[in-house]
Amino acid sequence: MNPSSDTNRKRKAQPSSDPTKKRKVQPSPEPTEEGKAETSTELTYRCSQSDVGDGNRVKMPASALEQFLSSGFQFPMLFEIKNPRCGRVSHCGVEEFTAEEGFVCLPSSMMKNMQLLEGDLVNLTNTHLPKGTQMKIQPHTTKFIDQPNLKDLLEETLKKFSCVTTGDTIMITHSQEDYYLDILETKPLNAISLTDTDCEVDFAPPLDYKEPEKKPKAAMSKPHKAEEGTEKEEPRFKPFTGASWRLDGQQLTTPTMGNKESTAAVKRENIAAASPSNSRKYSGKVVFGTKDATEPPKVSEGDVKDKKKKIEKKEFQPFTGKKYTLGG
């Protein structure tokens, strides 16, 4: 035998190193809706960033469509995408078959979620996912849940996603702002299809949400009382608070408002001043001299008559003036 011919046969038997060559793999672990596993086809490409920013639909070369159709691929076209460098796994749909041969174009948000760089190898395997019935998402910011018509916003933006996977972080663009959402849970499986389905969406508290601090009532009342005790009363104007003098020359302290002791002292002084020993007043009148103020002043009968005459003179009496005649 010719040894060179044996060497050529061995070289022909070696597998091709073309990353885009179709390879048959074991049946997919994900069951179909009928409960049967379908035969999967795995393709390897180099990733490139597409001009689409959000969503999870990729662009594949035209040769991929021919391979999938020849293997009896079912619609909708869904794929399991894997980063062999770090083992990150997710799922995606296909936008169109217009990419360059040997490359697959991914949205920028999807490359970030898959931890892929420009030119990295990525594996795509066709699969079948059940229709989703429920999913739970967690926004990164509270600004997203404050959006008006949040339900309509989700229905419109989730149309760009063919499927979602638990553990993914997706991006939604609205009013020229990017919002990131974490997929916390999906039902009935950890990866679901969003094509032609009614899926219930629940929200978890946003990552930047902070609950308002609740202070106990007792703790709030104590500092309030302490503050009231430390506050000093501002001086107020108080009338008639100066020193006063009596007509006999003795000083009398006028009590201030609210001073009970000074008020009692003044009362005692007034009682002492009204005593017969040192009083010089009688029935509200001021009396000058050395006579005892307790003795009532004596009034004579003549004084009484004079006072009556003066009062009578002051009364009006008609026709009491001088008389005159026309002759003068």
How confident is the model over 186-220, as pLDDT tens digits?
999 999 999 988 999 999 999 988 888 777 765 55
Residue with tokens 């409960």: 35
Instruction: Please state the φ and ψ torsions of residue 186, each to the nearest 5 degrees.
Output: -135, 145
- State residue 310's pLDDT score: 67
**Can you list the alpha helix ranges (DSSP code H) found in the chain?**
3-13, 62-70, 108-114, 142-145, 150-157, 217-230, 260-273, 301-314
The token duo for 303 is: 């004084």
- State residue 169's pLDDT score: 95
From 145, 141, 180, 183, select the one nearest 163 (Cα to Cα): 183
Distance between CA atoms of 73 and 82, rounded to whole angstroms? 19
- State residue 72's pLDDT score: 72
- State residue 200's pLDDT score: 92
- State residue 52's pLDDT score: 76
All residue ranges of the chain with pLDDT < 70 are 1-38, 217-235, 237, 239-242, 249, 251-300, 302-305, 309-321, 324-325, 327-328
- State residue 74's pLDDT score: 75
- Identify residue 205 by its one-letter amino acid code: P
Instruction: Please state the φ and ψ torsions of residue 157, each to the nearest 5 degrees.
Output: -80, -30
- Identify residue 229 by its one-letter amino acid code: G
Instruction: Please state the φ and ψ torsions of residue 312, each to the nearest 5 degrees.
Output: -65, -40
Domains contained in the chain, CATH given: 17-127 (2.40.40.50), 134-203 (3.10.330.10)
- State residue 23's pLDDT score: 46
